[in-house]
Amino acid sequence: MSAYSVNISVEAPVENQIQEITYDGQEIYTPPLTMSEHLTKLAQKIDFAKCGPEELNKEITEIDKNEDEAEQSTAPPLWPWDSVRNKLRNALTEVSVLADVLSIAKDKHYMVLDPVPQEPPELKPMVQVYARKKALAGAASVLLSGADRLKNLQAEALRNRTTPDFHIELLRLRQNFRLKKVSNSIVGDLSYRTAGSKFAQNGTFEVTKAEEDGDSPLSPPCSPNASLSNKPTSALRVTVPSELQGVAFIKVFFQKDQDSLTAAQLNLPSSSTANAIPDMYWQPKLEAAQNVLFCKELFNQLAKDAVQLQSPIPHIVVGNQIIASVLPGIQLVIGLCHSGVSTDGKTAVVPPSSNGHDHVLEHSLHQLLRELHHKNTHHPFPHPSSGPIGPSKRRRLAGPCAADREELMQMTQSETMLEQVIKQAQHINLRDRTLFVLDRLAKDIKDPLITSHWNALNSPTQSCVKINIVAHMYDTICRTSLLIHVNETTLKCITRDGRVIHMSYESQELRDFIMCQVYLHQMTAVQNLAKCMGWQCLANSAQLGVGAVEPFGNASSCVLASPTGERLISVRCEPKSGVHVTIAQSPRKDFFPGQLVKERKWENLGGSFKEVRWDKMEGKNFLNKMELLMASLTSS
Amino acid sequence: MNEMGVTTNSAFLCLFTSASAFGSPIVQMAQQTVNTAIDSLSAALKSNIIPNQEYFLQGSILDSSVEVLLHRLRGLCDNVDTTLETFHDHEMCFSIRGPNNAQPALQLRVRRSLDHNGMPMQLRYIGQPEIGDKSRPTVLRNSIDIGTSNTVVEFLTELGCRKDFEYLAKGYMFRKGRMKITVFKVFKIDETRKMSGGAFESLTALTHSYLVELSVLAPSGQDAIADDMRCFAEQLRPLVQLEKIDYKRLVHGP
């Protein structure tokens, strides 16, 4: 070789693993694997489950043989693992192709996967027809059996017409009351909670099926044959809570001031009504229970108000009565009468004298409570709609309109029910008194006729009455009108000339006032009449300052002169003592020239006034008499 | 002292500092001895009586089926005896950005009623809705609203707010207990044909459907109402599905 070449020795690396290094540095190698051992090792790595069965058997048999046979039998012309390798290589190819196809198909740019249309399975029409027929027959049989059952039920129901079905009854009950199924029982609610009540008492009742055995509790004890009873039986029974059983109502009446407060329980006058509602039909029973609940809530609310309100004369709540003072000397008593309540032996107490029960006030109490309920539920809607529900319109405007503290406080104050009902009671009282006074006056005073027309429309706390004072047959000459507003404790009178007079509830004030008006009317009428007759009014005065002092009002007077001037009439009206009429005539009849007054001409000065005996005067009423007087004086 | 006159101003101060406002409990406060408006405001905040959270669910229904829904709501909700309550509102949405174009802009809504002219306008701030997970039945969001006088639009423009958009809502309102249910249609306003006096001559409906909303205003912490709302929403299925709607997902959709 050349001088520059280097000998390179090529060795295979140490293939055998070092088993042990002896202390003198000698390495002991593990003996290399024999062919069979090598084959075993390689074979263990391959998963032969994926190979074909023939190769599998061949390989297994090859492993089982000893090493010599193994060496010889696994000696096809090529490498023993060739077939395995080929198969693996094919598999790899297939898998790579599949991976490539999938990645290309995923992008959907060049390849898209489409389902291969399947061949529809071949139809065998007759088989289908038979299958459908069988299925329909099955369904038809189910329906027919159901229909048969219903027909039987209906036929049975038709036969027993008298006992209505439980379910139909339940349906009717459900149309009127809210029912709920709680575990095994049906429970209903007869309280006013959904209508806006906030009363805590429970109003639940239970609905059960009425027993149908021999001793049917449905039939009343008076008719022994239970099967045919004339009263309607019910298939369901309602059980009302014990505190709501019976009948209740609110008794409202007035009473004059009594020193001893009757602490007796108010009872219904006829306690037989307690058992009058039979146990059979549920509608009246539930309605009665609902009424009891309503009355209880009403009384509860009134009692709360009575305790909280501070009035000059405090309200008294005793047992089931509330005593409130309406006017000095008159009290309003509101009591809760509940029959069916097991009183402990107090039923023997005689109720106080059967005072007139005021139905109108009871009705307004019911209305007031309903109004309270209504206010609890009907809150005004917000406009615009994004606002909160709850505040009233005034409250919503309070912010932007800068309401001050006073206005806000006013918004929070509202009248309690008891206050409202007391106001109504006061008004009723005052109105009755006014009626009485006016009627009495109309009856007593015959001369000018007093007529009163009450307004048909009025509120629970205000009424109006129009009073006309006319003389009979002289209504065109003069008519005096007054308008009186009757409030709760005051009267307001508006006269035709614009005067407004406020009076208190004392009826004497009204009486005096009307009397004054009557005499003023007489005076005005006389003057009008004089105008008609041609007489002249020389002087008049509505509030006369001469003469005796009147106990009420003032005297009024006028002086009339005849057309020729020869006669004078002077009329003085006093509210207390009536009318005085005096006449005088101008040339004196009784003129005698004396020492002092010598000439005849002095007789022309008018004479003295002489009183007319008015009761002897002809004429139907004062104006008539005046007319006749004037006529007679004119002519003579 | 004119307490209520300070209301609008103090509410705005609070808007930019913390989420709180005067609400309906002023009446209770008026009955106590109140020293200053700020004192009463902090007292109200502490006692957690201001309803500043809104729980709500939304859904929609086609025009053809809205009559059925109205009948059903009339039966389910309170006060069957009163007539259907309609409303016709005009809502404008304003936004103002902080200095240096800070994101996100503060959005304020002004709503006025077109059929009840005397009622005050409503200024409203609505916070980000909290969708929550499956355990929360409704969407919860901060909501502060206050009644204002008619000058609020001028006031906002002077502050620097810009009007983003406006629309008209016309529909019906129902109430069940504390829950308020509104069924309304959104209309687009044609600016060119706006009549003098603020009335709108031409309205174009945006969709052929009605939007149904169920909402409750409550102080924070009263989560039990959300379950009641869900039970009520169940009763309206399958007419309308009231559910939590995530706006963010709607924005980023395809």
- Alpha helices for A534-621 (secondary structure H): none
Q: Residue B16 above 70 pLDDT?
A: no
What are the residues whose beta carbons fall under 8 Å from the beta carbon of B69, sequence distance 6 or more?
A: B61, B183, B210, B212, B236, B239, B240
**Which residues of chain A are within 8 Å of residue B146 when distances are taken between CB atoms?**
399
pLDDT digits (tens, 9 = 90+) for B112-148: 999 888 899 999 999 888 888 888 888 889 999 899 9
At A390 the pLDDT is 81
Mutate to test the interface with B, among A386, A389, A414 (most CBs of B within 10 A): A386
How distant, in Å, are the alpha carbons of A177, A238, A365, A441, A586 from that of A173?
Answer: 6, 10, 29, 58, 96
- In chain A, residues with a C-beta closer than 8 Å to the C-beta of B124 are 386
Closest by Cβ to B30, choosing from A391, A400, A409? A409
- Token pair 């309906």: residue: B24
Across-strand partners of A252? A334
Residue A228: pLDDT band (50, 70, 90) is very low
* Percentage of residues in chain A having pLDDT higher than 70: 84
pLDDT value, residue A69: 52
Residues in Cβ contact with B14 at an 8 Å cutoff, skipping those fewer than 6 apart: B20, B21, B41
Output DSSP code: residue B132: -
Q: Which amino acid is at A51?
A: C
Tokens 């001895």 sit at which residue? Answer: B33
Q: Is A409 on the interface with B (CB under 8 A)?
A: yes
Specify the 3-state DSSP secondary structure of A542: coil
Laid out side by side, the sheet with A248-256 consists of: A248-256, A330-338, A321-327, A316-318
| Spatial distance between the Cα atoms of A194 and B79, rounded to a whole number of angstroms | 10
Mutate which: B82, B111, B172, vs A, most A CBs within 10 A: B111
What are the beta bridge partners of residue A557? A541, A572
> Residue A236's beta-bridge partner residues?
A209
Cβ contacts (< 8 Å) between A396 and chain B: which residues? 119-120, 147
More confident residue, A607 or A200: A200
For residue A412, which residues of chain B lie inside 8 Å, CB to CB?
Answer: 27, 30-31
pLDDT of residue B197: 54
What is the per-residue pLDDT across A147-206, written as a single tens digit (0 to 9) for each?
A: 999 999 888 877 776 556 788 888 888 888 888 888 888 899 888 988 888 888 888 888
Token digits for A89?
């290589």
The whole-number pLDDT of residue B70 equals 93
Chain B residue with Cα closest to A378? B79
Is B217–A388 a contact, with Cβ atoms under 8 angstroms apart? yes
What's the mean pLDDT when you consider all of chain A? 82
- Residue A32, pLDDT > 60, answer yes
Identify the band that residue A259 occupies on the pLDDT scale cut at 50, 70 and 90.
low
Closest CA to A244 of A333, A336, A181: A336
Name the residue with higher pLDDT: A559 or A56. A559
Side chain identity at residue B78, one-letter code = D
Q: A323: part of which helix (H) or strand (E)?
A: strand A321-327
Mean pLDDT for chain B overall: 80
Asked if residue A466 has pLDDT above 50, the reply is yes
More confident residue, A133 or A72: A133
What integer pLDDT is reported at residue A270 of this predicted model? 42
- Whole-angstrom Cα distance, residue B150 to residue B111? 11
pLDDT score, position A264: 47
What's residue A171's pLDDT? 87
Contact B5 A387 (CB under 8 A): no
What pLDDT band is residue A48 in, cutting at 50, 70 and 90? low
**What per-residue confidence (pLDDT) applies to A590?**
76
Note whether A380 contacts B: Cβ–Cβ < 8 A.
Answer: no
pLDDT at A463 over 60: yes
The one-letter amino acid at A626: M
Instruction: Note the pLDDT of residue A225.
Output: 40
Which ipTM did the prediction report?
0.74
Q: Using the beta-carbon criterion (under 8 Å), do A398 and B4 form an inter-chain contact?
A: yes
Q: Quote the pLDDT of residue A46.
A: 75
Q: Is A458 exposed, middle or buried (0-12, 13-18, 19+ CB in 10 A)?
A: middle
Name the minimum distance, in Å, from the CA of A406 to any CA of chain B: 10
Q: What angle do CA A178, A183, A187 make, to 5 degrees?
A: 25
| Token couple for A204 | 């639940």
Contact list in A for residue B217 (CB cut-off 8 A) is 388-389
Highest mean predicted confidence (pLDDT) among A307-321, A377-391, A487-501: A487-501
- Phi and psi at A332, nearest 5°, equal -105, 125
| pLDDT for res A258 | 65
Of the two residues A87 and A69, the one the predictor is more confident about is A87
Q: Is some CB atom of chain A closer than 8 A to the CB atom of B35?
A: no
Asked if B102 is an interface residue toward chain A (Cβ–Cβ < 8 A), one would say no
Predicted pLDDT of residue A470: 93
Q: Does residue A381 sit at the B interface (CB-CB below 8 Å)? A: yes
User: How many angstroms separate the CA atoms of A380 and B113, rounded?
Assistant: 14
Q: Which residues pair with A481 in a beta bridge?
A: A468
Q: What is the pLDDT of residues A363-385, one digit of tens each?
A: 999 999 999 998 888 888 888 88
A-contacting residues in B 107-166 (Cβ below 8 Å): 109, 111-113, 115-116, 118-122, 124, 145-149
Model pLDDT, residue A450: 94
Q: Which pLDDT score is estimated for B192?
A: 63
Q: Which of A73-87, A498-512, B12-26 has the highest mean pLDDT?
A: A498-512
Provide mean pLDDT across the span A47-69: 57
For B57-99, how does the pLDDT look when each residue is reduced to its tens digit (9 = 90+)? 999 999 999 999 999 999 888 877 888 899 999 999 999 888 8
pLDDT, tens digit (0-9, with 9 covering 90-100), for A79-125: 767 888 888 999 999 999 999 999 998 888 888 888 888 887 777 88
Interchain contact, B119 vs A401, CB within 8 Å: no
Please tell me the predicted confidence (pLDDT) of residue A482.
94
Three-state DSSP at A141 gives helix
Whether residue A408 and residue B115 make contact (CB cut-off 8 A), yes or no, is no
